[in-house]
Amino acid sequence: MNGIMEGTFARGAAAGSVGGDAWLRSLLEVEAALARAAARTGLVAETAAEEVARACAAPTALDLPTVYRGAADAGNPVPALVRALQDAVGPHAARAVHVGGTSQDIMDTAAMLLARRALTLVDADLAAAADACARLAAEHRDDVLMGRTLLQQALPVTVGFKAATWLSGLDGARSRLAAVVAALPVQYGGAVGTLAASRGSGVDLRRELAAELGLATTDVPWFTVRLPVADLAGLLGAIAGVVATIAVDVVLLAQTEVAEVAEVAPGRGGSSAMPHKNNPVAAISARACARRAPGLVATLLAAMEQEYERGAGSWQTEWPTLTELLSTVGSAVSWLVESLSVLRWDTARMAATVAAADDPQLAGALAEALVPALGPGSAHEAAADAVRTAAATGRRLADMLPEVAAGHPGLDVAALLAGAAPDVGEAGAQVDAALATHLVAVQSDPSSIGGAP
């Protein structure tokens, strides 16, 4: 990625974990684990396996320029990397390199390691964002805020309720993330999946390789059945969607005409042309990163259709796409944490907005008051007619009530006006429930989702 853009689109620890030589390190981790697993199953000597592991731990001693050049010639980097490792350990330990494996075994398993490493960091940022939402929900539990549906003013809610819905989304994303990471599988099948080169020990070797890397084992290879990658794609797309929804709420609430929230971060949010601007840069950047995710998800899902025992082009498509998806979603979550940490809510302005828009609340109360005389359907229509008439004549609904009462003598106008205070229903109870659920999640705290060594 162009260096000048990395501040926005390669933000935070998760994005950093998939950059640079991350793929090389993951490939070497798999080769080292494969050598050790082969030794445990009796296919190679332990001393040879340890030599391979030492070579994998010192990549600078390998002929990396040749590896990088050879990656294009072979269609993937594994063949050149295997040769470099064999050269590094010499003929006495070369048999312990890449035992019974094929390039896809190493690439797919490395992808799972890369994803797990990045997702562990994404999870940490999701946890930080969730904690920030929990604080907002508790602090602003009962502060009224105008609810909006289809971008129009609807009925009052509370800041606490909005923050609790954000919190629920983030906690839900974390639980889904934990499930996907726990199921990430090893890949080991040899040339076409039959384990023919593993001398009758392939199933055992696969199980030992999985244990070595902390991955799930499988009954058969998943060479062209790409559900693990699809699970990752779906998870990352869902996380991006949750982040984007929170970010766009902040962006809309920070509009000058609304101005109910602002990011207060000294030195950030300015304009090159307009010195008065305070743009919600962190929320904007979170949204920008998240919006890149659906296209990448679509590419990974489209690549699920693969031929025979190895995809010709579709499999190869996954490597950069998954890397970019991990990076952009990790960046989105990192930006969201920054946005939530500097949000300031203008509670007075929010309350004034709700007070100035009492017609929706009053319309609901009017409809309810007319139910005994008219029934639910007709009462709703009568209230809607009054609202439309008020709008057409440029009046407030409160000014229309005497006319409505003239046609319905039992209507108590004074009581309707007295009861027009903001009604947020059971918002507070739902906030409390979301906070209690979050507390349980925090106390059970899987501080590490991967459970990997």
Whole-angstrom distance, CA of residue 386 vs CA of residue 396: 10
Q: Which of 29, 28, 9 is nearest to 19 (CA)?
A: 9
Pairwise CA distance, residues 409 & 452, whole Å: 73
pLDDT of residue 358: 74
Long-range contacts of the stretch 32-37 (C-beta < 8 A, 24+):
32/56, 32/57, 33/209, 33/212, 33/213, 34/98, 34/99, 34/101, 34/105, 34/106, 34/188, 34/205, 34/209, 35/96, 35/97, 35/99, 36/208, 36/212, 37/205, 37/208, 37/209, 37/211, 37/212
How confident is the model at residue 452, as a pLDDT?
39
CATH of 3-351+431-444, one of 1.20.1250.20, 3.40.50.300, 3.40.30.20, 1.20.200.10: 1.20.200.10
pLDDT of residue 319: 98
In this structure, what token pair is assigned to residue 303? 């690549």
Largest CA distance in the chain: 103
- Please give the backbone phi and psi of residue 300, each rounded to the nearest 5 degrees, phi first: -65, -40
Phi, psi (degrees; rounded to nearest 5) at 375: 90, 160
Specify the pLDDT at position 450: 42
Q: Report the phi/psi class of residue 102: left, alpha or beta, with left for phi > 0 and alpha for psi in -120 to 50.
A: beta
Dist. CA 374–CA 371, nearest whole Å: 5
State the number of CA atoms in the 13 A half-sphere of 226 facing the CB: 29
Mean pLDDT by 10 residues, the chain (453 residues): 75 95 97 98 97 96 92 94 96 97 98 98 98 97 96 93 98 97 98 96 98 98 98 98 98 95 76 64 97 98 97 97 98 98 95 82 85 90 89 84 84 75 90 96 67 38
pTM of this structure: 0.88
By DSSP bridging, strand 343-345 and strand 152-158 are unpaired
Q: Which residues are catalytic?
A: 271, 310
Each residue's pLDDT tens digit, 132-150: 999 999 999 999 999 999 9
Given a contact cutoff of 8 angstroms between Cβ atoms, the answer to whether 290 and 329 are in contact is yes
Give residue 275's pLDDT. 54
